[in-house]
Amino acid sequence: MLQVSNIRANKEAYINALKKRNFEAEGILEEVLQLDETRRSTQTQLDETLAEANQLSKEIGLLFKTGEHMKAGVLKEKSAKLKESSKTLSETLNDTILKLDQLLYTIPNVPHDSVPAGVSEEDNEEVFQAGEIPTLAEGSLPHWELAKKYDIIDFELGNKITGAGFPVYKGKGSRLQRALITYFLDKAAEAGYKEYQLPLLVNEASGFGTGQLPDKEGQMYHVTEDDLYLIPTAEVPMTNMFRDMMLTDVDLPITCTGYTPCFRREAGSYGAHVRGLNRLHQFDKVELVRLEKPEESYAALEGMVEHVKDLLEELKLPYRILRLCGGDLGFTSALTYDFEVFSTAQDRWLEISSVSNFETFQANRLKLRYKDSEGKKQLLHTLNGSALALPRVLAGILENYQTPQGIKVPEVLVKYTGFDVID
């Protein structure tokens, strides 16, 4: 959520920056400032009314003590009017604050200067590419056919148990999945991230804290009776651990990692591009979250990018990095890099990670602050990244490592799987 003080100080700059998102901000920002002006003037009136009422209360007490009941009665009538006025002002203030917050929740984050303008994923900017795209033998298969051939993932069985988008991993497929999770967590620990096991359901306040609510409410599974949400990513519970906290210089940076299943309704997703593991309602992911001082957050973002690059290079998968354009940028992000693995069997790129800096956007919602060395209170910057999301990484391994004799296991994973080929 944007800070009103920053909107007031940078209104024109924000209007121009939000145009990168194809978001017309002028009218809504003006409405925000008008509501804030009403809030401030109402607060001033309320404070003055309450102060006057308190002073009258003291005077009334003294008049009663000195026996001047008639004068006290006159002041009591005035005090009653002040109380009624303060009640009206309080209701107006609360209503204005609610309207202001609801309006602020509809405004996306301001893109970083480096974010390119654009309308869709077609306008994203490729900034890096590495790895050799393998030449597959004739008759090579996409991963959903390989999964059936080697009996390692059963999409039909998942559909029987739950529905489409909930696959069942079997035998060596299950062990390869577990190997990837452990490998990603071990690499995060080596990089200094503290591991957490997290709840898979969160309350409404957590959804609002990291920006999934109200923006993506329709994409989250909602347990209506308990008013809880299944997590779409570990980012939500992990970042909300620090909601309403005041940290200090010595606490920072804070680096967290954790593995969780993730749940997404993916309403409206259909077609050949979502076959197999390409898009699921339940999938596994290892997440990274960082809390950083503002002046250090972009160096931290580059460090997270290097971390994900290292994983993909050790897995020997061909990949590229995209800087997302304004039209494809997530609602809460100031800058996002997407990682994509090339699927040789499908002849296309598959997104497998997003690494983002949210600057103060989430921290403002979370009321997550720190005291600097001079004792000044500031909002922190929050960052997160997938390291990595498993389904499309697994799809890339199955397709790019297939041979006529079976599917080779990336060398770095063999110590985790206990086998080097799926046959």
How many Cα atoms are found within 13 Å in the side-chain-facing hemisphere of 169?
17
Spatial neighbors of 344 by CB under 8 A, at least 6 apart, are 133, 134, 136, 140, 399, 400
28 is in an annotated binding site: no
Burial (0-12, 13-18, 19+ Cβ within 10 Å), 71: middle
How far is Cα 371 from Cα 247, in angstroms, rounded to an integer?
6
Interhelix angle 297-315/171-190, rounded to 10 degrees, is 140
Can you say whether the dihedral through the CA atoms of 321, 325, 329, 333 is positive or negative?
A: positive
The answer to whether the beta carbons of residues 54 and 61 sit under 8 Å apart is no
**For residue 360, how far is the Cα from the chain centroid?**
12
Order of strands across the sheet that contains 377-379:
246-248, 369-371, 377-379
DSSP H/E element including 369: strand 369-371
287 is in an annotated binding site: yes
The residue count for the chain: 423
384 is in an annotated binding site: yes
266 is in an annotated binding site: yes
How far is Cα 356 from Cα 359, in angstroms, rounded to an integer?
9
How far is Cα 218 from Cα 35, in angstroms, rounded to an integer?
28
The answer to whether the beta carbons of residues 294 and 361 sit under 8 Å apart is no
SS3 category, 338:
strand
24 is in an annotated binding site: no
278-280-286-292 Cα dihedral, nearest 10 degrees: 90
How far is Cα 370 from Cα 367, in angstroms, rounded to an integer?
10
265 is in an annotated binding site: yes
Binding residues for L-serine: 233, 264, 287, 384
Binding residues for ATP: 264-266, 351-354
Binding residues: 233, 264-266, 287, 351-354, 384
